Structure 1
Amino acid sequence: MVAITYDMEVPSSIPAAKVFKAFVLDADNLIPKILPSAIKSVEIIEGDGGVGSVKLITFGEATSQLKSMKHRVDGLDKENFTYSYSIIEGDTLMEGIESISYHIKVVPTPEGGSICKNRSIYETKGDFQITEEQIKTGKEKALGIFKAVEAYLQANPDTYN
């Protein structure tokens, strides 16, 4: 098994607490509302939404090759704006991928904005290789979701205060 890790940082003018509330704490409601073609629904199928909970994500028509995935909440620290989860089942786990975990931290900046830091770890089976193109595609999708949430927050400045 080989671990492939990549990091991504996205700066935002939105304060860290507001980004965390929208992008993490209310993502199950907000993202299907603002990006229904990408994510149709998120349903908690085990737990209360906290650590150990399992969520079923159903993809929209924009991701026609993917139907659904399940992810487990591995960590949640509301005070330090950190969140981690692992994909445990579904179409996103390709034939050669054992698991994928994500670690998100939203860091306040001195200017009043934030930086969203994301570390993705792919555990592969055997000598399976993930291509640079696959990593780039994953980063672009994550950035697109983040930018959609950011645009929503800019258009609705009184939400998530």
Structure 2
Amino acid sequence: MGVITYDNEITSSIPPTKMFKAFILDSDNLIPKVLPQAIKNVEILEGDGGVGTVKFITFGEGSQYKSVKHRVDGIDEANCTYSYSIIEGDVLEAGDLEKISYHVKIEPAADGGSVCKTKSTYHTKGIKEITEEKIKEGKEKAHAMFKAIEGYLHANPHAYN
């Protein structure tokens, strides 16, 4: 098995705790509302939302993929961190991937906003390469989702206080 890791940072004018509540804690409800073309539905298959929870995510019409299973690996509200893995679905079946793991940390920024730091780890079957194009595509999708949530929070300033 090979392992390929990359980091990504996205800045926001929204404070970290508010962004964590919206982007992480309520993402199952909020993202299908804000970006229905990206994610159509999220269903909990097992668990209560905490560590070990397995979710079935159905992508929207605008996605090249149909669905994935997502497992919550860690969550720390006090430190605004969240870890999860894609463990099943056509995202993995489309290539030579065993799983994709993510670690998200939303930190305070000097201007009162936040910085979302994400580490993505691709676990490949055998010795495979993940193209720069695929990495760039993943970063762009994450950026669009984050900015859509930020836009929602600006339009609804009393949400997630």
- Divergent runs of 4+, >2 A: none
TM-score, normalization by structure 2 = 0.97
Q: 2:125: which partner in 1? A: 125
Offset of residue 132 of structure 1: 0.5
TM-score, normalization by structure 1 = 0.97
Q: 1:66: which partner in 2? A: 65
**Structure 1 portions without partners, runs of 5+:** none
Distance 1:95 1:150 in 2: 32
Q: Give the number of equivalent residue pairs.
A: 160
Q: 1:11: which partner in 2? A: 11
Q: Deviations over 1:100-121 (max 9, x none)?
A: 0000000012321110000000
Q: Secondary structure at the match of 1:92?
A: helix
Mapping 1:4-153, distance limit 5 Å: 4-63=4-63, 65-93=64-92, 94-153=94-153
Q: Secondary structure at the match of 2:62?
A: helix
Q: Deviations over 1:27-66 (max 9, x none)?
A: 0000001111110001111000100000000001001x31
Distance 1:12 1:38 in 2: 21
Question: Percent sequence identity over matched residues?
Answer: 66
Distance 1:145 1:95 in 2: 23
- Partner letter of residue 23 of structure 2? F
